[in-house]
A and B are shown apart, each in its own frame.
Chain A
Amino acid sequence: MFTQRRNLIFLFFGIVGAIFIGKLFFLQVIDDTYEKAADNNAIRKIIQIPFRGEVYDRFGKLIVYNTPVYDLYMIPRKAVVKDTNHFCRVFRVTKEYFIKTTQRARAYSRVKPSLFLKHLSKEDFASVQDAMVDFPGFFFETNAFRTYQSHSFSNALGYVAEISPTALLDQKDDYYRQGDYVGISGIESFYEETLRGQRGVKYRMVNSNGVEKGDYKNGSLNINPVSGNNLYTSIDLAIQEYADSLMQHKVGSLVAIEPSTGEILAMVSAPSYDASQLTGNNFSKYYQQLALDPMKPLLNRPPSAYYRPGSTFKLVQALVGQQLGFIGPGTVFSHAGAPVKCHGHGPVDLRGAIRVSCNPYFYHAFRKMIYDNTTGDTYERSAKGLQRWADLVANFGFGRKLGVDLGNEKKGILPNVEYYNSVYKGEKMWKFSNIYSISIGEGEIVVSPLKMANLAAIIANRGWYIPPHVVKGIGLQKSIDPFYKTPVKVGVDAKYFNVVIDGMEDAVTHGTVEADGRIPDIKMVGKTGTSQNQKGKDHSIFIAFAPRDNPKIAIAVFVENAGFGGSAAAPIASLVVEKYLKRKVDRKAVETKFMNMNYLPNVYSVTRKKAVPDSTKK
């Protein structure tokens, strides 16, 4: 009886089973929202920041390193403090702090760790480490601070700070996250990808209370952090610090290069700042102060500042003029017909013209370079002549980047035909009489101190340079981009350098360089420059190399608003050269004088004039 009902009942069971399987198929196979929700539920991604690479000087002295700091965390549910007074004594906190922080941690979560004490030093950490067994529920996590051995190299080193919102949006490979630290300027920025290393990722499983329960998939997805590569710079820290002390109370730059390698030995930007104050909690306050400073301490002047080269540019004119075949060692020009003044001496040859820095000589020489062997009217001849000239001058690195390994190098200006066409709004609107100022390094030509130091190196090498660079080795292999190994020829034959170097030697021994700029036992050759600027007293410039035979150091010094090149820049350069070649300075009086020399009042008068905005008009 009713045996067929078994089949009906089972049909009903089967329908229910089919509905379940259908629903499960939808949940598990078709719809993947649950899978994602599960990952968010149970897997926590933890980013591990590796140690940033360290920076060394050319002798292996540390310049920048990481100081570990220790952050103390507590887990309220596990934290048992039997003797609060003892605890407060060990960690040197007040009882109020203990109570307040503990309460805040409890309010946040009883099972998740909360920050209890920030940035304990290594010494503090060592002193409390043994006592930690008495305090369950407390643990340390290591963090790192960028630490700077010396305050003298800040501008070239750059600094590390939290990534800005715009940089966060602009990044190409999506590496950085909000709150990440990134190199902002100098080599910290240029070598960011080398220094930062490879971030580690850990996937940890958490339970519904947010408590960690071990590695996800036994850690097979984890990526261990890789520390950043160390950088071995060519900086000579002793020279760097010495140069820095000489540039105190001054605004300007000093760049020293080893001519045979293009390695930068010292690079001072004055005034500078204290990079160690830009790490940690003080950043925003100190940064604000630096950014508003009219002296622009954040500007890395050697590769970025704009100056006219002044008379130092006459060296280029002398070389290019010879190479183009318009002047030679015996060429003599009179002062007649030149709109530029001279300093009171008779007609001179090329060597003499460099010694006394004769303006009319180079006016005439440049006129020859522009007009000789060209055809057409004066406008056409000016354009043709200038193009011929500019093509050769550009080889020295003017008007383009040298490729220094610092993020903020500026091109400068080398006025050529297009440049004047745009300034005078059309072709044939200008001729030699409009542009002659550049014959003596004034007018439209703009250079950086780095380019002038490189010029000194080119002359020291008699016709070539290796692109200047700060970093001579990266990582364990101390590898380097072949770009910084390859000599660049400037297109001027070595023979044309003799007369120029002779002139530079004369300039130091009995020319424009004052007595303070002479080193008795070292044959330094150089050229002064006095860069005009509308805003105040002239900038004092000096470029040099030494010793004359087998040069070891090429140097450029710019001191703003300090007057003649021979009086301020040359003595400072001579002191650095002496220190570098002898590792000591015998001329103590000169050293003391220039360390204490203060050119800032001249600068202040300029910045004040500039810094009075007319608030009524805006």
Chain B
Amino acid sequence: MTDSNHIQGRIDWITVGFYVLFVGMGWLNIYSAVYSPDAPLAFSDSAFYDSNAGKQLVWIGTSFVLIICILVIDFRFFESFALFIYLGLLLLLITVPFLGVTINGSHSWFKFGSVTIQPAEFAKTATALLLAKYLNDPLVNLSKFPFQWKAALIIGIPMLLIIGSNETGSALVFASFLILLYREGLPGVYPALFIGGIVLFVSALLVPAWIILLALVILAGLLVLFMPIYMQRDPKTYLRLSGAIAVIMTLALLVDWVVNNVLKEHQRNRIRVLIDPGFDPRGLGYQVTQSKIAIGSGGFWGKGFLGGTQTKFDFVPEQSTDMVFCTIGEEHGFVGVMLMIICFLGFLWRLMYLADLQRSRFARAYGFGLVGILFFHFLVNIGMTIGLMPIMGIPLPFFSYGGSSLWSFTILLFIFLKLDSHRSDMLSR
């Protein structure tokens, strides 16, 4: 490749700019969360590198090395080796219950010296790669059932393995591949059913069954009203509608049963905290309540950098990792979080725009997989800090403290940027 030496000329610097912005902002927030006015640590102090801020600086440095590696590797490697990478990750996921160590109650980590790695974080990237490679085959048509089934298999195997190691939160991330599949031709009914299912699940928890029934009947009535006349006259229509209502009602009634019998105690309580914020404020509701207090106390302009009292003094558990958004909310206020959300959406828009520019289906599908994963983390992480989502161990991409998280998102993103930089080298199909 004659022009592989000019990689910097073709890499999308806007995306890189977003990445640097997010990682930099994230580090400042971690620094603020561990900052102690009594004993500010200097960079020269060795104790600094024992603090989260110091360690994150090391993670950021090593991420830079990873970026160089990814940009140096031949772009065809990722497509060619997608299956091997996927299988390798599966192997790690299978062996982690036997060879891994337990961190924060989660038995899903590998330990190499002082570095700990969670394979589940990297499984997303591997799955996105394999899925994209599978879709690269022009014969694959996602509106057909056999292809849907195979795609579901690629997503489902690592997902089940992760559920097996009790990382339900990480497993749910795989639901984000719906966005990839939808973009690549999966009929709209699947994401619609998915969203409808979530709406049904939440409403079944929040409102009594008869209200759901009433709502369904009214909905069915409206549907009939706006139907073409020939359908209105067909008695089968009413049979189908009644059947649909019956199925939905059965599912709604099943929700209670599932919550009470299938979910584990801690999962049930997380959902309960969500629908009843006053539930157990000193215990399970504590994290949500403290998180809301921290964000709410930020006000319109925030308390200023290093000025937060709630996050700094450990009122919010996991403040540097999953709850890093609280620090932004407290110190930078409504203005800060609004800008952050707008930036993140802008970032996602840029990635989708780039993905649609790709000539190869592999690169495009991978790009949408990346967008889906990032969006899912964004949705759940911010949602849980402001009490709109149940508490799950889902980090905020690029912002949250943690080596596995930062490395995996860096790899995920820069594989796409590498592919994008070679989009003109690829064959259009």
Contacts and interface: CB of A to CB of B under 8 A. Distances in A.
- Residue among B36, B296, B375 having the largest count of chain A Cβ atoms under 10 Å: B296
A28 B295 contact: yes
B183 interface: yes
B318 interface: no
Contacts of A218: 37
Nearest to B330: A38
B349 interface: yes
A20 interface: yes
A31 B296 contact: yes
A20 B382 contact: yes
Contacts of A10: 348-349, 352
Nearest to A16: B379
B149 interface: no
A25 B334 contact: yes
Contacts, number: 124
A2 B352 contact: no
A1 interface: yes
B310 A42 contact: yes
Consensus secondary structure, chain A interface: helix
A38 B345 contact: no
A33 B296 contact: yes
A31 B38 CA distance: 32
A41 interface: yes
Consensus secondary structure, chain B interface: helix
A436 B204 CA distance: 98
A546 to B, nearest CB: 68
B199 interface: no
Interface in B138-179: 179
Contacts of A31: 296
Given A10-B352, A23-B388, A35-B299, A209 B310 contact: no
A205 interface: yes
A43 interface: yes
B352 A6 contact: yes
Given A17-B341, A24-B386, A214-B37, A37 B309 contact: no
Nearest to B379: A16
A10 B329 CA distance: 24
A207 B33 CA distance: 12
B337 interface: yes
- Residue among A1, A13, A214 having the largest count of chain B Cβ atoms under 10 Å: A13
B314 interface: yes
A203 to B, nearest CB: 11
B38 A213 contact: yes
Nearest to B344: A17
B338 A208 contact: no
A38 B310 contact: yes
B298 interface: yes
A42 B309 CA distance: 6
A218 B303 CA distance: 13
Contact of B292 (A3, A27, A29): A27
B383 to A, nearest CB: 7
B208 interface: no
A21 interface: yes
Interface in A202-244: 205-209, 213-216, 218
B352 A24 contact: no
B116 interface: no
Given A6-B356, A9-B182, A16-B379, A28 B310 contact: no
Interface in B31-45: 36-38
Contacts of B379: 16
A5 interface: yes
A270 B349 CA distance: 92
A24 B36 contact: no
Contacts of A294: none
Interface in A120-166: none
13 contacts: A5-B182, A6-B352, A13-B349, A16-B379, A21-B341, A24-B337, A28-B298, A28-B329, A29-B334, A33-B296, A35-B299, A38-B293, A205-B309
Identify the 8 closest CB pairs spanning chains A and B, nearest first. Answer: A34-B296, A38-B297, A207-B313, A42-B309, A28-B334, A214-B37, A27-B296, A208-B314
Given A2-B184, A28-B296, 19 more contacts: A1-B185, A3-B356, A5-B183, A6-B183, A9-B179, A17-B341, A17-B345, A23-B387, A24-B334, A24-B337, A24-B338, A35-B296, A35-B297, A42-B309, A42-B310, A207-B314, A213-B38, A213-B313, A214-B37
Interface of A: 1-3, 5-6, 9-10, 13-14, 16-17, 19-21, 23-25, 27-29, 31-35, 37-39, 41-43, 205-209, 213-216, 218
